[in-house]
Structures are given as structure tokens and as C-alpha cells.
Amino acid sequence: AETDTRLLTLTAAEFTAVLEQVPALASAAREAANARRAGRLAVGLDVEHHNIANLLQQRGQIRIGRADDNDLVFPAPTVSRHHALISVEDGRCRLTDLDSTSGTFLNGREVRGTVDMQDGDEISIVDNRFTFDRVRAAEMVTNVGIRVDVLRVRKVVGKGKIVLHDVSLTVLPGELTAIVGGSGAGKTMLLDAMSGVRPATSGEVRYDGRDYYAEMAQYRHTLGYVPQDDIIHQELPLRLTLRYAARLRLPRDTSPEELDAAADRALEQLGLTDRAEVRVGALSGGQRKRASIGIELLTKPRIFFLDEPTSGLDPSTDRHMMELLRELANDGKTVVLTTHATASIRLCDKIAVLARDGHLAFFGRPDEALRYFGVSEFDEIYDRLADELSPAEWGDRFRAMPAHAAIEAGQTQPRADAEAGRTSSASGGRSRGFAHALHQFRVLSRRNFDLYARFPANFIPLVMQPVVITLLLLALFPADLFVGDSENPTVPLQLVYTICFVVFLFGLLFAVQAIVSERAIFRRERMVNVRVLPYLMSKTSFLAPLLLVCTCLIVAVLWLLDRLPDAGLRDTYLPFLLTLVLTAWAGLALSLLISAVVNTSQMATDLLTPWIAPQVLFAGALLAVPAMNSVGKVLASFTAVRWSFEGSAAVTELKELFDRSTSPIGEALLIQYEESFGWSTYWYWAILAAFILVPLVLALVVLTKKTQPR
């Protein structure tokens, strides 16, 4: 049957006016809203009223936080126990951030220390927002879901290639929305533009009417993002993995009981309680995907972005994953995902269909998509996109439809003050103080320790390298090499060089996979304000002491079995050990730089040879540095083992050994190395320290740049 019903687009004010004029419509709207709320299909805002003036007058200040002893209690897990303070000093109202983890925001800007404020200023703490007013009651607004408006978003990469063409769409709270399309359609690019991982080149993304790119730091702890790669360590038990994630994402003052409760709550919500003690690597593909979602559930986010969450899953697991996302949306969360699979697409409220190169070919309900493309199955949409029109023509066709005009007309208008608070989209909020950095360093260091301690397959190869090398050195070099009448003083020279080379090699091999193997994990942790310096230094907190122990044991074994000179501890062996330890740490620092620069584990392995070869050729053992040509001398200056070898030769007094030798070889070596081994030991240590610091600083710069929104 056909009726004369018309679809009207009304502003909020116009709709309110209509409700006042038509009581029956108002009643129906209330019933519909109550039904949706009861069915947990979509929710809006929870609002409480508090009189700031009365609180200030009664107490002189207003304490805000998660703990019950605050004047304003916000129970969100990412709110610190004592988060912020409103006070009055000499008639001026002031807002102080109490070194919170998630930050306090005034008019969209993060508060650093204490700032003045006035009536009408907006205070935001995680997902709680209210307008400061000393006269009227303040509305405490807690977002239950987030509305996302994407307006004419365009993304340009490389040398001007456009990968998103003026995409506009709207996702409401409580909706499950899928971005579908073939390879090269720009699904991930659109998802990252909406989430801020890779902001759009032009256009706007609004969260509840706010310029998201301008206020990205405010949403850092209310947004969940699950990339296509797993964001969990496979070596740890699932519960422990969740607990470490909770320690990094929740405030520092979160108690152990609260951390355990957050992990258990996520496990229960995902149906993985019975797998809590299973190593993540032993879980099925679908369970690992759910575990990655569990990491995000720890902070109770209001909006979820998932990149190909069903990729590689069998049809049954695919269906279960989509049902889980449907449940998240039913709880009021905004859920956006990318997928190329269409078997469970009917569970979505809306789908965005992208043609190649980021042209929006359709946006609307799944059943509307079938009618729009004139097909009976969703897979047939891909055929039509590929065969009938060009990507640009598909985009132009949908842009000419009334549905597209309705999308842009129905989007929220930007706030008048949004531009005033605009900051760099790459800022991601301020770096917090030393206490936060130290907390992150401790958590990350303990996690790195557990990655080795709980997974012997990682630890055993590390300790076996020094054991095997020491046995080979004992088999290769005879005893009593450093006697005064040595017939071949080349042998002790080669032993000293070999020890310097192998400890550098240990450092190089120990950490070359340390960063690149968890790129996806670290990128996600950076989005929730894990700092680069604590992360980088945590990689040394276990490996650097391990290298120290291995180096000491190698030297001790060689000394006990008479491969090293019979000399004093203070004058010879302590300086010798320090030189070798600095050498090992130089290799460790270089390996961390390599691991930070490359994008794949294979590339990290491939780059080892170009760094190892100079340590052999230009260290001065095969050919003394003074005998090298000018190019060789320059390369030798940038070879860590060269300085380690020279420093060790000076400490072990190789020149004196050459001089005492009765063999012509000793005289020849004395001439060859006449200009070598002559510096103070402190200079060699300073140079080796530079070989440690420079790669670490470069790794810090590289990681900072690579993890910024692009």
C-alpha cells in the first residue's frame, strides 16, 4: 500500500516545537525512547544537576575524582581517585589538575597545573562534562555513546594521491556500522580518519558536534581501537596480559583489587573466563581477536573502532565475533568496523560501501543497500562496483541521491567555541610528569621480564649464545697466551679482539626483534599516552643486566682456564670488564635502533649483516687502523668494536706483550700498532658511551615520529 507520508528533516528546536504542538507525537516519542533504552539499542546522555555555588560556599573548594571522599564523584575507571580541584583564591576561581592520568580539560584545552576560570567555562574529565557556573545548577553530562559525524573527509597521501574522496556519513550512539569494500577501497583509511589514528587531510570529523581533531586528547581514554594485528603479547597468560594493559591504561592510583576486577570483568564480558590462565598464543584465532577487544574493554570506552576483526576467521567464528560487536552496540557503544566479509552484515545497523580509491558508493541500512544496488546478496555488490561504473561515477551517483543530502543536512553543527580550542591533531595530549614516566617504565619492565621468564623459548636462546661462544673460544685458543716469551703474540691479540666482537654481537642479537615484533601493540599503547622514553628504556631493563652477567661470566671462565693474563682485579679486570660491558650495551643500543626503524622482523634480520661486517673489517684486528687508507680510517671511526678493541688492548697491555716477545712477529706487531692503544682508558669509555647514547636518542626520535598521527 502507498501513503502520502513524507520524510522531513528537522532541527532539534523544530522537533521540540512539533512535540509541543502534537501531544500524541510527544507521547509516542517518549514511548519509543523508553523502548530503545529498555532494549539497550541506543542511549543518549546521563545528566545530573549540582549547584557549584553551594558546594564552594560550604567547603571553599570542590574535589573531583573517583574516590567516595570527593565532592563530585565520577566513577569511570579512567578517572583518578583525586583527579581535579576547584578552588577560590582572592575571589578568583581556579581549576587544578591533581597529576591525573587521563587529564583535566578546560574549554577543550588540557590543564597543566592550575588555571583561572570563569562562569560559562566548560570542564571535561574523561567522559564527564559540565559548565562551571557559580549561580545556576550545573548539568553534569556523562556520554553513554558518541555520535560521529564525518563531513566531506578527504585523505591525500604520498605525492598527491587521493585515497578518500569527500566522504560524508553519520554514526549514532548504539549503532553497529560496517565499512565494506574490496581491496584498495580505503576502508582502513576511513576508519583511521574517523578514529584519529591517521587524520584526514581535509574535511571534519565531529564527536557529539565537537571538532574531534581539535579535542582528540579528551577522547583518548574513551575510545577503543583494535587494529588488524593482535595488540596482545602471545607469550603471556590471558589474565596477566589484561592486567598489564590495565596497569598502563588505568590511573596509577588504581588498587590491585580494582585491576583484577577490571581484567575479570573483561574476561566475563568476552566469555573467556575459562581461558584466563591459557597462554595467548595457545588461544584460537577468534579467541585472540576477542582478547584484543578485551584490552579495550578495560577502560569502558564509549566508541569502538575495529579493523578487519573477522579477518581469517571461519564462518562460525565470524558470526560469533559479529554477535559480540552487536552486543557492544546494544550496550550503547558506538561500534565501527571494516570488513570485506558479508556473511553477517545484516547484524549491522548501517553499512558504508566504498568503491576503489575511497569513493563512497552507498551509506545506509543493509537492506537499503541491496535495493540500491539491485542485488539479492551482499557479495554481488562487489561485482557491480567492479564491472559497471568507475569508482568516481559510483561516488557521484550516490552524492546525487537525496539520501546523501539528508546525511549532510542531518549532521550536528560545529560548536561555536570548537575552533578556539583547536590544537595540533598530532599532539595527543601533554606528556605527564616524572611519576607517570616512572610508573610506565616499571610496568613495561616487569612485563618484559615476564615475557622472558614465562616463555622459555624466548629466554633460552639468549643464554645459550654466550655458553656456546665461550666453549668455542676455549676450543680455539690455547692456555697461557699472555706469557712474556710468547712465540706468536698475534694469538692473544686475536683473542682480545674476538671477545670484544662477540660481546657486541650478543647485544646486537639480543634486541633486534624487541620493538618491531610488537609494533601494533606499542602503537596502540601510544594512543593511550604511553610515552616513548619509558617504553624504550624498558627494553634495556632486562637485557642490559643480562648482558652484564653474560660478559662477566665469559671473562671469569676464560680467566679461570688461563686464557687471559694473570693480572690484578682493580688495575686490569675491572677496566677490562667495563670496556666489554659498554661494548655489549653499544650493540644493544644499535639493535634497538634497527628494531625501531624497520617495519618487519625480516627487515631487522636482514640489516644485521651490514652492521656486523664493519665490526670485523675495520676494528683494527685484521689490519691496524694506521695502515688503512683514508676511507677505511673514517669507517673505523664509526665502528664500535674498533674502540672496544683498542681500549681492551690498552688495559691488557698488548703492546708490552709484543715488546717482550722473542719472536719477530712481536716486533712486527709493535711497529704495526705503534700509533694504536695509546689513549687513556677514560677516552675509550667516553667513545663507547657515545655509541650507546646516540642510537638510543635516534631510536627515541624514530619511535616518536612513527607513532604520531599522520
For residue 75, what is its C-alpha cell?
A: 566513577
- pLDDT score at 39: 44
Contact 321, 313 (CB under 8 A): yes
Decide the pairing of beta strands 128-131 and 122-125.
antiparallel
Q: Which CATH architecture has domain 52-141?
A: Sandwich (2.60)
Q: Rounded to whole angstroms, how far apart are CA atoms 675 and 213?
A: 61
The alpha-helical segments, DSSP class H, found in 483-600 are 490-510, 519-527, 532-560, 574-597
Q: How many residues are present in the chain?
A: 710
- pLDDT score at 32: 64
- Cα angle, residue 364 at apex, residues 359 and 368 outer, rounded to 5°: 110
For residue 282, what is its C-alpha cell?
A: 595457545
Q: Per-residue pLDDT tens for 631-653?
A: 999 999 999 999 999 999 999 98
- pLDDT score at 145: 82
Q: Rounded to whole angstroms, how far apart are CA atoms 305 and 549?
A: 45
* The CATH number of the domain covering residues in 148-222+301-412: 3.40.50.300
SS3 508: helix
In the chain, where the domains are located: 3-41, 52-141, 148-222+301-412, 233-300, 440-707
E-only strand ranges, 21-147: 45-50, 61-65, 72-73, 84-89, 92-97, 105-106, 109-110, 114-117, 122-125, 128-131, 138-143
Instruction: Return the C-alpha torsion angle 570, 572, 574, 577, nearest 10.
Output: -170
Residue showing cell 567464528: 317
- pLDDT score at 262: 94
Which helix or strand (DSSP H or E) is residue 487 part of? Answer: none
- pLDDT score at 662: 79
Amino acid, single-letter form, for residue 191: L
**Distance, first Cα to last Cα, the chain:** 52
Residues of the chain with pLDDT under 70: 1-13, 20, 23-24, 26-27, 30-53, 136-143, 415-432, 484-486, 709-710
- Cα angle, residue 673 at apex, residues 670 and 677 outer, rounded to 5°: 115
Q: Is the pTM of this model over 0.75?
A: yes
Closest CA to 307 of 193, 391, 203: 193
**Which string of DSSP letters, residue by residue, matches 21-35?**
H-HHHHHHHHHHHHH
Q: Rounded to whole angstroms, how far apart are CA atoms 544 and 537?
A: 10
Q: Rounded to whole angstroms, how far apart are CA atoms 639 and 625?
A: 11
- pLDDT score at 655: 87
